[in-house]
C-alpha cells in the first residue's frame, strides 16, 4: 500500500492503513512518550538478537565500531545505548553530530558535522583522500 500525503496540509489521505488483526488504525511500531498502547514484543526480540550479535563479535575477538548519527542530548536514549555498548564490549564510538558531539573518554571519535558530511569524511579517510 502506498500512502499519499496532501502537500498543503501534510496529512495522510485515505485510505489509511488498517490493522490486519482488529481492523483499527494501524500505527508504526515506534515508542512515543506516554504511549501506553505500544506493544514491545517485536522490539524486545530485536534487542535480544542485537545483544547476541554484539556478544558474538566480542567473543570472537573482533572489534566493534558504533557509528551514531545525529543523536542529541535532548532525548539521549540512543546516546546512552551507544555508550553502554561501547563500554560493555570495548567498542569504539564514532559520534557524528553538529552540536552534541562530545564522547566519553577513551578510544572514541567525535565528529562535529551533519550526518552526510561526517559519513562522507569517514569514507574519504578510508580511501586515503
For the chain, domain boundaries: 63-129
**Cα distance between residue 56 and residue 36, in whole Å:** 34
pTM: 0.74
Nine cell digits for residue 113: 558535522
Query: Could you report the per-residue pLDDT of 33-48, keeping only the tens digit for each?
Result: 888 888 899 889 999 9
Q: Tell me: pLDDT of 29 over 80.
A: no
Q: What integer is the mean pLDDT of 42-71?
A: 94
111 and 118 in contact (C-beta within 8 Å)?
A: yes
**Cα distance between residue 101 and residue 111, in whole Å:** 6
**Cα distance between residue 92 and residue 8, in whole Å:** 44
Q: What integer is the mean pLDDT of 35-62?
A: 91
Q: For residue 38, what pLDDT is reported? A: 84
- Residues in contact with 64: Cβ distance below 8 Å, sequence separation at least 6, in sequence order: 54, 57, 58, 85, 89, 90, 91, 92
- The backbone torsions φ and ψ at residue 84, rounded to the nearest 5 degrees and listed phi first, read -65, -50
User: 69 forms bridges with which residues in the sheet?
Assistant: 96
Amino acid at each position: 500500500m502506498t500512502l499519499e500525503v496532501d502537500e498543503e496540509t501534510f496529512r495522510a489521505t485515505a485510505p489509511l492503513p488498517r490493522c490486519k488483526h482488529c481492523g483499527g488504525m494501524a500505527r508504526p511500531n515506534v515508542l512515543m512518550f506516554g504511549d501506553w498502547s505500544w506493544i514491545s514484543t517485536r522490539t524486545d526480540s530485536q534487542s535480544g538478537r542485537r545483544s547476541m550479535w554484539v556478544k558474538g563479535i566480542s567473543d570472537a575477538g573482533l572489534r566493534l565500531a558504533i557509528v551514531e548519527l545525529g543523536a542529541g542530548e535532548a532525548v539521549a536514549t540512543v546516546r546512552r545505548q551507544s555508550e553502554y555498548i561501547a563500554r560493555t564490549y570495548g567498542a569504539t564510538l564514532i559520534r557524528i553530530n553538529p552540536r552534541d558531539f562530545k564522547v566519553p573518554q577513551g578510544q572514541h571519535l567525535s565528529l562535529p558535522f551533519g550526518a552526510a558530511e561526517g559519513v562522507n569524511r569517514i569514507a574519504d579517510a578510508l580511501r586515503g583522500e
